[in-house]
Structure 1
């Protein structure tokens, strides 16, 4: 696809991502000046990326109700 404007990128992000998955590089320009480049990630699969994201500590990570209950109980136990 080459170069696209920010507006085109916003309106066609899904298609741009498919193009990148197919090996294409896409440059995003703001007012005609290149500001970003979308490139395929080489040597990894979607499963590898998801596993890496799951393993990485994140702020505000969502926990199940059971996990929250355990954390609350552990905190209460530490008070005694």
Structure 2
């Protein structure tokens, strides 16, 4: 059955990350989203590597949404 998948990605890139690595990371994240017809990609626009620290409200909302979706 289709399973909800939500990928939370950093909106801000760390300094020193080569463009090719950024591109590959974005492609990998989109690949994860594409694994499910219920896939969703959320960009944490104010976050770097740890959105759970810099944008905890966003992460909590994503988790709440996943729980609601799973419960039907």
Which has the bigger relative contact order, CA under 8 A and spacing at least 6? 2
Larger Rg: 1
Q: TM-score, normalised by structure 2?
A: 0.29
Q: TM-score, normalised by structure 1?
A: 0.27
